[in-house]
A = this chain, B = another copy of it.
Amino acid sequence: MRRISDRHWRPGDLIPGEVELAEEFGCARATVNRALRELADIGLLDRKRKAGTRVALNPVRKATVEIPVIRQDVEARGKDYSFDVLDRKDLAPSAILQQHYGLAASTPLLGLWTLHRADTYPFAYEERWINLAVVPEILDADLELLSANEWLVRNMPLSRGEFTFSAGNATAAESELLNCPEDAALFIVNRSTWMVDDAITAVRLVYAPGFSMKTVV
């Protein structure tokens, strides 16, 4: 790492092999391997068998964003968390959902519309559907007590998730729910999660104005 920041080894350079480095540093090859592997994990090195290890040409910064449960997010801001389930109904997947998530037309879905609050102020508005074919147990849960968000995190480990972050202007309905002017700029997260090949849930979260998501590298 020092040799990279020194520019002693420059982007694109081929660095010595593991055996050679182990000799130089007087340690075992496994130790060198772990060090180089960790540097490759954070994007500083590119490694290929036979071709060797090079200093990454495009040190793509990999920021790890923590996706907290909304309750924790609110509480971390020093506010009291509460939420209301505004609506709840059984659904059949629309053609778009069927295609995008590979759902059969007959898949039973649970739709939930929830408003999350911080100290009684609207914090985020959530639209969600849940695949009941995969998590039928959620029907036994009291979702007025523990939010679906939290229930799923606690009970349904996911193997794969997709997140999309964007910005959008508040619609009339959103402005009323989030108590903000129409057309206010809102931070939006779309998230869908899978367990192996089965879509578990997809959710659209619209945060009240002023929300920001922080992360550190």
- Select the residue from A1, A61, A69 with max chain B CB neighbours within 10 A: A61
Judge whether A165 is part of the interface by a CB distance below 8 angstroms. Answer: yes
- Chain A contact residue count (CB 8 A cutoff): 53
Task: Tell me whether A63 and B60 are in contact (CB under 8 A).
Answer: no
Which residues between 129 and 183 of chain A lie within 8 Å of chain B, taking CB atoms?
153-155, 157-169, 183
Residue of B nearest to A206 (CB): B167
Task: Tell me whether A185 and B169 are in contact (CB under 8 A).
Answer: yes
Q: With the chains together, A55 CA to B158 CA distance in Å?
A: 12
Q: Which of B59, B65, B162, B183 meets A65, CB within 8 Å?
A: B65
Task: Tell me whether B5 and A195 are in contact (CB under 8 A).
Answer: yes
CB neighbours (8 Å) of A216 from chain B are: 160-163
A146 CB to closest chain B CB, in angstroms? 13
New A-B pairs, 6, CB < 8 Å, besides A44-B157, A163-B214, A163-B216:
A61-B153, A63-B67, A63-B163, A163-B217, A165-B215, A166-B212
Task: Tell me whether A66 and B60 are in contact (CB under 8 A).
Answer: yes
User: Helix, strand, loop or mixed for chain A's interface?
Assistant: strand
Task: Tell me whether A169 and B157 are in contact (CB under 8 A).
Answer: no
Q: With the chains together, A58 CA to B161 CA distance in Å?
A: 16
Q: With the chains together, A216 CA to B192 CA distance in Å?
A: 10
Q: With the chains together, A4 CA to B49 CA distance in Å?
A: 33
Task: Tell me whether A186 and B167 are in contact (CB under 8 A).
Answer: yes
Query: A4-B157, A44-B157, A183-B183 are contacts. A162–B214 as well, Cβ < 8 Å?
Result: yes
Task: Tell me whether B67 and A60 are in contact (CB under 8 A).
Answer: yes
CB neighbours (8 Å) of A165 from chain B are: 165, 187, 212-215
Q: What are 5 A-B contacts defined by CB distance under 8 Å?
A: A58-B69, A61-B153, A61-B161, A63-B161, A166-B211
